[in-house]
Amino acid sequence: MTRVAELKNRWATDQLVTGVEFDQWMEVLKAGQWNVSADYAHRLASITGLSLATSALGRLDDMRYGRQIAQMEIKPTPLFILGHWRSGTTHMHDLLGRDPNHTFTDVFQVIFPTAFLSSRAVGTRLLANALPKKRSYDNMRMGWGEPAEDEIALLKLHGMSFYGALMFPDAASKYEKYIDFLECTEAERNRWKQTFEWFIKKVMIQSGGKRVIVKSCPHSARIRMILDLFPDAKFVHIHRHPYNVFASMMHMRGKVDWENFLQRPDESFISGRAEHTATIGNRLFTRLIEDRELIPKENLIEVGFEDFTAGNQLQYLEQIYTQFNLPDWDRYRASIKPYLDSLKGYRTNKLDIDQEMMDFVWDRWRIVFDTYGYKRELNQ
């Protein structure tokens, strides 16, 4: 192996695994064969130190809420947002989560999944200035109450996440099975289901029992496991032109990968990022497109990002409320319209998409073009 000579964002402090409890942190490190580079000793130290405090607070959550969690049912059923990373899933998560009848998984909850019920009031005040104003790879707001994907929490609760590849790039391929879990054991799939239910119950407790709007892009490849848990689950899938998705993914990974490494990466991992991104995406798209057929037609709505953001957001939101029989549309519409108006100045990143990239994406993600009618030319 030839390790990269230059490390980017070496001193970044927002690792995805931050907030893990000590015992599970040891399991994560063991899965990575304890292969932490000296270059990232400071990350190891800071994550480990915080894990001790988080463990203590987690036991407080267990004592206060353990019995309630064990006895409660998840009703109403969560609503799931599906889609590849950079397809508009966070925006949809934010919009549907703003309904007073709903709640969403937020940044504080996914950073401290075992301890957020007992620590939130004090923690958000003490850490009020600990987050940047915006995400490092786009213009989306950051804040403790902003929407966040539960995959970040699940990584810390059981370690079975593709995001492990961002910590241990030498072993990246072994984490791919956690995208769809089809190559995992039944015990692993059951552990995922139990952990997911446990976390959703905690989110519901904090909200007073509201419906949870769930968004984690890897869930797009886990429809089978989700339907095992919630046969009546409702799904909104938002998709976007594959060229824009891929370009945005490459931009995001140019930031996020470096923020999470615990190993000095090999040059082949960096130079092979496009192929790795395409492989992960193809696995996710294939499962999503095939397994959506398992969802009753009335429980699935698919939306094109370009159509959704072209002045049609209220129209599509009304369709979601009508088809899924969600209550209080008029009240929600009255509250969400001013918020949508406030976003009119938002601009997505302008990314370069050259012919070589288009040819590459056309070859690797042809299934998306064929399924959703995207044209090979970028300007439709």
Taking the chain (380 residues) in consecutive chunks of 10 residues, what is each chunk's mean pLDDT? 92 92 97 95 97 96 96 97 96 95 96 94 79 64 86 96 94 94 97 98 97 97 98 97 96 94 96 95 97 97 94 94 97 95 74 92 97 84
What's the structural domain count of the chain?
Answer: 1
Both tokens assigned to 42: 């400071």
CB 79 within 8 A of CB 204: no
109 near 206, Cβ under 8 Å? yes
Judge whether 339 lies within some domain: yes
Assigned domain for 14 exists:
no
* 109 inside domain: yes
Asked whether residue 70 is domain-assigned, the answer is yes
Range of the domain at 340: 22-372
pLDDT computed for residue 59 by the predictor: 96
Q: Distance of CA 103 to CAs 185, 209, 214, 264, 320, Å? A: 32, 9, 9, 39, 16
Residue located via tokens 């925006």:
91
Q: Is 166 part of any domain?
A: yes
First to last CA, the chain: 43
Alpha carbons within 13 angstroms on the beta-carbon side of residue 62 total 8
In a domain, 46, yes or no: yes
Whichever domain contains 312, its CATH number is 3.40.50.300
In a domain, 12, yes or no: no
Maximum CA pair distance of the chain? 60
In a domain, 228, yes or no: yes
Q: Token pair for residue 314? A: 């209220």
Are 170 and 35 in contact by the 8 Å Cβ rule? The answer is: yes
| Dihedrals phi, psi of 106, to nearest 5 degrees | -115, 180
| Per-residue confidence (pLDDT) for residue 379, from 0 to 100 | 66
55/50 Cα distance (integer angstroms): 9
At residue 380, the pLDDT reads: 45
Nearest to 272 by CA among 284, 262, 286, 257: 257
